[in-house]
Amino acid sequence: MSDSYTVKDIQVLKGLQAVRKRPGMYIGGTGKDGLHQLVWEILDNSVDEALNGHSKHITVVMLADGSVSVEDDGRGMPVEKHPTTGKNTVETIFCNLHTGGKFDDDAYKVAGGLHGVGAAVVNALSERLVVQVKRGGNLYEQTFSRGKAKGGLAVKGKAVGTGTKVLFLPDSQVFEDRAFSKIRIRERLETKAFLIAGLKITLRDEFEGTEEVFCYPGGIKDFLAKLIAVARPIDAQPFHFRYDNDVRLEVAIAWTEETTSRISSFVNSIPTTAGGTHEAAFKNAITKAVRTYLEKRNGLPKGIRGISGDDVREGMVAIVSLFLHGDVEFQGQTKERLNSSKAMQIEPLIRNALETWLHQNPGQAAVIAGRVLLAAQARQASRAARDEVARKAAPRRLTLPGKLADCSSTLRDQTELFIVEGDSAGGSSKQARDRKFQAILPVRGKILNVEQASDEKLKANKEIQSIIQSVGTGVGNAFSYDRLRYGKIIINTDADVDGHHIATLLLTFFYRYLPELIRKGHVYLAMPPLYRIRVGSGKKAQTLYVFSDREKDAILSKQNGKSVEVQRFKGLGEMDAPTLKSTTMDPGTRTLLQVQVADEEETNGIFETLMGKDVKRRFLFIKERAKEVRDLDI
């Protein structure tokens, strides 16, 4: 590296070079999320045609060679020579950033694609991309590769109707894994069909030879019905509201007996998984509407001092679909969060509509009010219980499970709870730990799958209850973050299939019943090794710890007759205390994975698929992923 810094060090990236150099800036990364973002970018262009009344049918095809095509019956891209670039318009759109018809309201009144970069980004990151346009009675076609045109726009023949088709194969130089997930694509297409009532979307899988059609005349009403079908809705009709003037807004709400809430928000059909100004306005609106209704009706019952936003949202399932005209401010190209301040104008619209509906439907309103007041009562009872405990200064360890080996420190942020599988691993972990700040809780085998279990089974399960008591926060209405006893909760299971299964069961429990601990970064996965490899002998011997068969094989392939000894750890209990400490428990030498949720909608879907009651959905997932399996521990 040179210490000089001159004009020669300044690079000017031309055309789409910047996209290929830093793809993460445009699609969020080159992993699975980024790969599927390519599909979303092209899909959203077709959806925008439907949003503006120009398209009624979109067809998405997953081809056997790994490519994907998206076709609509919209107006078809312009094909004439563009006055600014001197190139045909198709080439101009696919080879230049910030080029498109969505910068004003003339071509598109509302649109999900706003920056004019989506098509060009997909082109830049595709090994092959083919655009076909039906327009003016002709079928036009042009081929591209890695951001550059491979020939001009050619007339391929006559065509009936209009529309655009884009076929692309992701670039192997950019994406290490180019296998698309049918489940991801299916869920995104179904969501789009829900959001645009009457739009027909077909998904065809050439590899499996299957075809599925999504079309929902009821729009988000049908969407809400699907979401609450797996919950326990209360005996009240859902609230539905539609407004179409300076903005287009549609809201659907239902309350359930669940203790968590689920808000799915969208802007111009784009899922805003990180929320934003529109979601904040929605939350404010429903809280104020319910409060006002309760105050005007009979006031609050004796003993309830107030209604919080959490009380109103407990058990609520809601869909908020907003369509904004003109400039829309998203956070980043992948658009997970809305920043537009003008979205706050929907607050009085939702508030007035919900409050009016509650007064006009007293029977429905009484059931909803009872649900909200029940949440408020539970919250206050929980608060009172906490205050009582604090006032009596009861020793916190009196109600802890007997098999918990607690630590001596009471400083939450400096302590760790290891949840380990089995008494054998528990014994080894107790010997390897630092008693000052590390606690050990053994759990027996594969714990309860809470995704399928009733509340009664949850309460009766000793392993689950031991975890709840050890963590200290309680669950559901009794949850209190302030009572959390450990800064890190570390799931430490064997590095084999059974261990991964147990870890998944534990993650399901934390995600469904203690999601706040995941959101605040308290839940971790330990990384115990699968093998110990000793290379050489005597003083020159080297000990390596590896975590997969692939890593082991790579090390062994490099050895040329040196002495090699391989030991597989079938479980944590087989490790002696010094080995377990240095590889898995010592903060100075271990590796921890922090559990995070990047996409609430997708994460929820994964747990429903893998751990839920729908066997067919899980079979489809396994069938789709079977070809990706490389290491199978049997």
Write down the pLDDT at residue 110. 61
Residue 598 has pLDDT above 90, yes or no: no
From the list 91, 258, 355, 494, the catalytic residue is 494
Alpha-carbon span 51 to 449, nearest angstrom:
41
Residue 387 has pLDDT above 60, yes or no: no
Write down the pLDDT at residue 394. 36
- How many H-runs (helices) and E-runs (strands) does the chain carry? 20, 22
Write down the pLDDT at residue 130. 97
Partners of 425 in the β-ladder: none
538: left (phi over 0), alpha (psi -120 to 50) or beta: left
**By three-state DSSP, how is residue 489 classified?**
strand
Residue 36 has pLDDT above 90, yes or no: yes
From the list 91, 355, 421, 463, the catalytic residue is 421
Write down the pLDDT at residue 129. 97
Write down the pLDDT at residue 332. 64
Look up tokens 């706050």; give the residue.
344
pLDDT band at 426 (very low <50, low <70, confident <90, very high): confident
483-487: average pLDDT: 92
Token duo for residue 369: 């009010």
Average pLDDT over the chain, rounded to whole?
Answer: 85
Which of these, 317, 319, 195, lies nearest to 268 by C-alpha position? 195
Write down the pLDDT at residue 333. 60
Residue 395 has pLDDT above 80, yes or no: no
Provide CATH code, domain 17-214: 3.30.565.10
Rg of the chain (C-alpha set): 28
Provide CATH code, domain 396-528: 3.40.50.670
Best-predicted range by mean pLDDT (320-334, 437-451, 548-562): 437-451
Alpha-carbon span 350 to 253, nearest angstrom:
11
Q: What percent of the chain has pLDDT over 70?
A: 89
**By three-state DSSP, how is residue 165 classified?**
strand
From the list 329, 498, 574, 601, the catalytic residue is 498
Domain boundaries of the chain, sorted by first residue: 17-214, 224-383, 396-528, 601-634
Cα 41-42-45 angle, rounded to 5 deg: 90
Alpha-carbon span 483 to 303, nearest angstrom:
24
Is 494 a residue of the active site?
A: yes
pLDDT band at 321 (very low <50, low <70, confident <90, very high): very high
Provide CATH code, domain 224-383: 3.30.230.10
Partners of 61 in the β-ladder: 69, 204
Best-predicted range by mean pLDDT (216-220, 271-275, 517-521, 606-610): 216-220
pLDDT tens readout for residues 396-418: 444 688 889 999 988 888 999 99
Write down the pLDDT at residue 545. 84
Identify each DSSP E strand in 194-315 by its residue range: 200-205, 210-214, 239-244, 248-255, 262-267, 270-271
**By three-state DSSP, how is residue 30 classified?**
coil
Instruction: Give the DSSP per-residue string, 77-105.
Output: ---SBPTTTSSBHHHHHHHSSS-SS-SST
Is 599 a residue of the active site?
A: no
Cβ 361 vs Cβ 293: under 8 Å: no
Task: Count the neighbouring beta carbons within 10 Å of the beta carbon of residue 85.
Answer: 14
Is 482 a residue of the active site?
A: no
Q: Are strands 138-145 and 126-135 parallel, antiparallel or unpaired?
A: antiparallel
Residue 590 has pLDDT above 90, yes or no: no
pLDDT tens readout for residues 68-127: 999 999 999 999 988 888 889 999 899 888 766 544 555 555 655 444 478 999 999 999
Q: What percent of the chain has pLDDT over 90?
A: 45
From the list 206, 496, 549, 599, the catalytic residue is 496
pLDDT band at 391 (very low <50, low <70, confident <90, very high): very low
Cβ 140 vs Cβ 153: under 8 Å: yes
Write down the pLDDT at residue 631. 55
480-502: average pLDDT: 87
Is 455 a residue of the active site?
A: no
